[in-house]
């Protein structure tokens, strides 16, 4: 069975600083990988996804993530944090081309300091 | 499209009462999911439907929980009787067949006192 581990339940960075949210997965077969964002009192929204092909994936709002098979990682980065990036971020994995078997990590709450 | 619509947004009820949460998925989506989010357990998949048929309900915590999807545009999650430990945010999501993106509603925050 697949699983996801997000390192750090809470990350705090200064406005303009690099954002790095860590995600490691375990899977017996090549996985599909996702990052979702949840703003306060909202549902989850897809930021980006890796299915096949290029391992560096670009998403909305300037975020990107790189699939590293050797490290079983899919870390999320953004070069310069903005106050509006404050939210909770979820890494998720699926073994199939479909949303019905998504397994979510525990989430990382990102705080942006002015 | 207005997205996935859930109602109510907030529900406060007394222990022992029946609670019904409602969801309208995005038109044309084949899959509908019910999730529960708590601080302790994170985001858990409770049940999902494909073309209105329940496919996997292994995440439903116990017999007090039931879900139905009478047609392609409506689903309910019912808790009867409710207990304080059911307090959580319940999300409905929908997706198209073969598409890995799930679209989430804004959730229903349930408080059982």
Work out whether strand A73-78 and strand A19-26 pair parallel, antiparallel, or are unpaired.
Answer: antiparallel
Which chain A positions have a beta carbon within 8 Å of B10's beta carbon?
Answer: none
Per-residue pLDDT of B63-72, as tens digits, reads 999 999 999 9
What residues have CB less than 8 Å from A86, skipping those under 6 apart?
A110, A111, A112
In chain A, whose CA is at the least distance from the CA of B37?
A: A106
Asked if pLDDT for residue A107 goes beyond 90, the answer is yes
Top mean-pLDDT range of A2-6, A60-64, B98-102: A60-64
- Judged by CB atoms closer than 8 Å, whether chains meet at B100 and A41 is answered as no
**Nearest-angstrom CA–CA distance, B90 and B19:** 12
Asked if pLDDT for residue A103 goes beyond 70, the answer is yes
B101 in contact with chain A, both atoms CB, cutoff 8 A: yes
pLDDT in the model for residue A105: 92
DSSP state of B25: P
Per-residue pLDDT of A31-83, as tens digits, reads 899 999 999 888 899 999 998 888 899 999 999 999 999 999 999 999 999 99
pLDDT in the model for residue A59: 94
Contact yes or no for B105/B8 (Cβ under 8 A) = no
Q: Average pLDDT for residues B87-110, to the nearest whole number?
A: 91
End-to-end CA distance of chain A: 41
Asked if pLDDT for residue A23 goes beyond 90, the answer is yes
What are the distances in angstroms from CA B60 to CA B25, B67, B108?
20, 9, 17
pLDDT in the model for residue A12: 97
pLDDT in the model for residue B1: 65
pLDDT category, A30, cuts 50, 70, 90?
confident
């Amino acid at each position: 069975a697949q699983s996801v581990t997000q390192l750090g339940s809470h990350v705090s960075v200064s406005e303009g600083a690099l954002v790095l949210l860590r995600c490691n997965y375990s899977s017996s077969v090549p996985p599909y990988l996702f990052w979702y964002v949840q703003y306060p009192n909202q549902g989850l929204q897809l930021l980006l996804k890796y299915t096949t092909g290029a391992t560096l994936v670009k998403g909305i709002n300037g975020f990107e993530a790189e699939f590293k098979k050797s490290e079983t990682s899919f870390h999320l980065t953004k070069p310069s944090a903005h106050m509006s990036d404050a939210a909770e971020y979820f890494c998720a994995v699926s073994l199939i081309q479909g949303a019905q078997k998504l397994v979510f990590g525990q989430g990382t709450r990102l705080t942006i300091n002015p | 499209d207005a997205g996935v619509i859930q109602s109510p947004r907030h529900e406060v009820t007394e222990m022992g009462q029946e609670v019904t949460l409602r969801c309208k998925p995005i038109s044309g989506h084949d899959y509908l999911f019910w999730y529960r989010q708590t601080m302790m357990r994170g985001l858990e998949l409770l049940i999902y439907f494909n073309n209105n048929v329940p496919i996997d309900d292994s995440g439903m915590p116990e017999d007090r929980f039931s879900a139905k999807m009478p047609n392609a545009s409506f689903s309910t999650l019912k808790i009867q009787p409710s207990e304080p430990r059911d307090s959580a945010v319940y999300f409905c999501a929908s997706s198209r067949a073969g598409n890995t993106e799930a679209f989430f509603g804004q959730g229903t925050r349930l408080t059982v006192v």
